[in-house]
Amino acid sequence: MIVFPNCKINLGLHITSKRADGFHNLETVFYPLIWTDALEAVKSESDSLTLSGIPVPGNAGDNICFKAAELLRKDFPQISRLSIHLHKTIPAGAGLGGGSADGAFMLLLLNHKYNLQLSDRQLITYAGQLGSDCPFFIVNKPCFASGRGEVLHPVDLCLDNYSFLVIHPGIHVNTGWAFTQITPASAATPLTEIIRQPVEKWKKLLVNDFEVPVFKKYPEIGQLKETLYRSGALYASMTGSGSSLYGIFPKEMLPELGLDNDYIVKKIA
């Protein structure tokens, strides 16, 4: 069986407080994009994982797809040993949630393959044990997210009349470092109010708190954001803690930016 885990972007991102457990509370709007990996799992005599596409850091045994299978197998021993193949096109550690999507889609795949009859709520609970972003990919619809990102409330937002250009500059931004650069504070205007405004107004309203410290340390990332605006983006932002950026453009009006091969560029019309 094969599934196609997609990525997400953050529309706004505010770090509101530090929690007693060492994590941070945040507020953001997750929006899914059709840029996908491919994930296949078939019954096998032993567990194995093969990879293709963009290199994935770390050992195969630490891959989130394995972790998702083991998590469900504890409660559902009928899940057999699996031969898993993951083809990566979404860069890892880029703020796009590619790894989180792979883990969540593995849960969905196994739920269907073995007819486990788990509800979305149950799958969300399992996904939360894999990572803070994973529950979103069970819902996979625009959501206002709070808590660590696992508290989700669907929002009425459709950007089908726009095109997206996503750039991964190949820079690794350490998420732990990025959080240390933020002074938590509540947003001046709720994100749920801002996203109801026309996209053309988001430039002055919709903010990712990580941009200031990340752009200071990596000015080339900030320069890419300005390139997106100069190329006609109605709104541009970094997603997550970076380093990927996206621009929202009028439908089917995506520019050629002339970037070299060190960058991964995805156009979503």
Residues 68 and 11 grouped into a single domain: yes
Round to whole Å and give the CA distance between 214 and 104.
Answer: 28
- Are 17 and 43 within one domain? yes
Confidence (pLDDT) at 17: 93
Please tell me which of 26-30, 91-95, 185-189 the model is most confident about, judged by mean pLDDT: 26-30
Regarding whether 92 and 213 lie in a shared domain, the answer is: no
Among 8, 88, 225, 266, the one annotated catalytic = 8
Q: What is the pLDDT of residues 133-153, one digit of tens each?
A: 999 999 999 999 999 999 999
Tell me what the mean pLDDT of segment 59-69 comes to.
88
* Host domain of residue 64: 2-154
Encode pLDDT of 30-55 as tens digits.
Answer: 999 999 999 999 999 999 999 999 98
- Active-site annotation holds for 75: no
Q: Give the active site residue among 37, 88, 102, 133.
A: 133
Please indicate, yes or no, whether residues 43 and 136 belong to a single structural domain of this protein: yes
Final residue in a domain of this structure, among 135, 154, 173: 154
Q: Torsion angle of alpha carbons 245, 250, 254, 259, nearest 10°? A: -30
Share of the chain above pLDDT 90, in %: 86
Encoded amino acid at 47, one letter: D
Known catalytic residue at 102: no
Q: For residue 75, what are its two tokens? A: 């409660």
Overall domain count for the chain: 2
48 and 141 fall within a common domain: yes
The span from the CA of 107 to the CA of 123, in Å, is 7
Give me the residue label for tokens 């950007």. Answer: 159
Among the listed residues 37, 34, 58, 61, the one whose alpha carbon sits nearest the alpha carbon of residue 49: 61
Residues 253 and 141 in one domain: no
